[in-house]
Structure 1
Amino acid sequence: MMKVWRVVIVGCHPTSMLGTKLILEEGGELEVLGMYSSWNEGVYNIQEMQPDLVLMDYQMPEGNLQGILPEIKSNAQHAHCIVMTEEEDKDMFLPLIELGASGVLSKGASPRQLLLMIDGLREGFLSIPLDWIEKGFRPPTSSKGLSGVMQLTQTERFIMERIVQGITYDKIAQEIEVSRRSIDNYLRKIYVKLDVTTRAQAIEKFALHANQSKQMYA
């Protein structure tokens, strides 16, 4: 008899999580241990419960999961993590896999598609949508060069995009309605994530890998 997998769900919509719970438990092979609406609750309980599977929204009120996923995998190394996104975004696939995800699935996917992905993981297989292949998706051997850029928040990405375009720091501060000093704080965080020490290095790395990302997944 196949082992019953213990599942934790982390999402921002309680009604959706309840519906997912009912779908997962219908066949008797999956048991939902808990459903959590914040990263703090989710991370703590995943560490305590050590589930076999974690279903998580990519975007939560506190932000996206890029900074959280490595922590979850560190705390629950044997857990498979399926990331639920608003749409099937193949651009996220490899970076999220390298951060520890076992699959990426659109929230618009059918219950059957979700269960098939889980069944694949139970058998040791990772699945991707067939239409990605039909649209020309060809994963490279690695996307680690993109990991630093992927860690940037939406605001940090906007700042770097404007800097690459030659916009001044004062103008960027006005555009996002923050102080000039806040831009300096953002830049310090950006430099750490990109593993650079100068503006020129940050521009080079951001522009290079942002361009590579578009080419890879066009």
Structure 2
Amino acid sequence: MNQVWRVVIVGSHPTSMLGTKLILEEEKKLSVLSMVSSAQEGIKVVGEIQPDLVMLDYRLPDMTAETVLEQMKLSSPESHIIVMTDNDGLFLMQALISRGASGLLSKGASPFQLMHMIAGLREGVTTLPLDWIKQAIWPLNSTAMNEGGLPLSETETFIMERIVQGITYDKIALEIEVSRRSIDNYLRKIYVKLGVNTRAQAIEKYALYTHQGRQMYA
């Protein structure tokens, strides 16, 4: 339990990575060995170092965490990976955990919350925000979608969740750090996958499947 954990930080913003490094290294049992700013670099470094802990930004310039996770766990299966996200991690959690993440944490989390999660991982447990638990959505909607035959990606699922909540396309674009035109492209793909032609039809069909998912596991 006194082992110094070797850490790799993979993120898209150098300033944020440096801030995370400073927080981690206040704890003498953590040593940051590398900070990289792309998924491909991260996969390579993790395979070479075999770190105890990886701090992974959900959105990187070249790919998102779903693909990165699988490749990192293949090359370094014993590494714990904490995914840092700006989005509502509740709708990402199950897919990321199933791909090998040890936990999810908001980029707005306090240093104490981060260190608490790492301390838990040392004991073989992870933590969840109380807000997620209070929503009581178990299992998560993404599982119901996948099992129900709607092949939406995690990003597409997130977009539909936000649309159902009444969030504007411009705000969704800001949340996932893409252009407004990219949202239109995502919507065209979603409509094809759902077999619909309009936004209203997409919301109706998506809501039907997610409602069935909740009832199935109630």
TM over 0.5: yes
Residues 7-55 of structure 1: CA distance to partner in whole angstroms, max 9, x if unpaired?
Answer: 1000011111011111101120101010000011100000000001100
Q: In structure 1, what is the equivalent of residue 42 of structure 2?
A: 42
Counting only pairs closer than 5 Å after superposition, residues 77-96 of structure 1 correspond to structure 2 as: 77-96=77-96
The aligned length equals 179
Misfit runs of 4+, over 4 Å? 141-148, 151-157, 207-210, 213-216
Q: Structure 1 residues 86 and 167, CA, compared in 2 at 3 Å: closer, same or farther?
A: same
Give 1:95's aligned amino acid.
A
Counterpart for residue 22 of structure 2: 22
Residue in structure 1 matched with residue 136 of structure 2 by the alignment? 137
Deviation at 1:69, TM superposition (A): 1.1
C-alpha distance after superposition, 1:46-81 (max 9, x if no partner): 000000110011011113121221111111100011
- Measure how far apart 1:157 and its partner are: 4.4
Unpaired runs of 5+ in structure 2? 160-181, 199-204
CA distance in 2, matches of 1:150, 1:213: 18
Matching residue within 147, 156, 160 for 2:189: 160
**Unpaired runs of at least 5, structure 1:** 169-206
Identity %: 44
CA RMSD for the aligned pairs? 3.0
Letter in 2 for 1:166: V
Contact 2:56/2:82 (8 A) holds in 1: yes
User: Please, what TM-score do these two structures have when normalized by structure 2?
Assistant: 0.71
Task: Pick closer, same or farther for the CA change 1:209–1:70 going to 2, 3 Å.
Answer: farther
Give me the whole-angstrom Cα distance separating, in 1, the residues matched to 2:40 and 2:53: 18
Question: 1:161 and 1:150, CA in 2 relative to 1: closer, same or farther beyond 3 A?
Answer: closer
CA distance in 2, matches of 1:146, 1:92: 13
Q: Report the equivalent of 1:149.
A: 152
Letter aligned with residue 96 of structure 2: L
Q: Specify whether residues 9 and 214 from structure 1 end up closer, same or farther in structure 2 by C-alpha distance, changes over 3 A only.
A: farther
Aligned to 1:181: none
Larger radius of gyration: 1
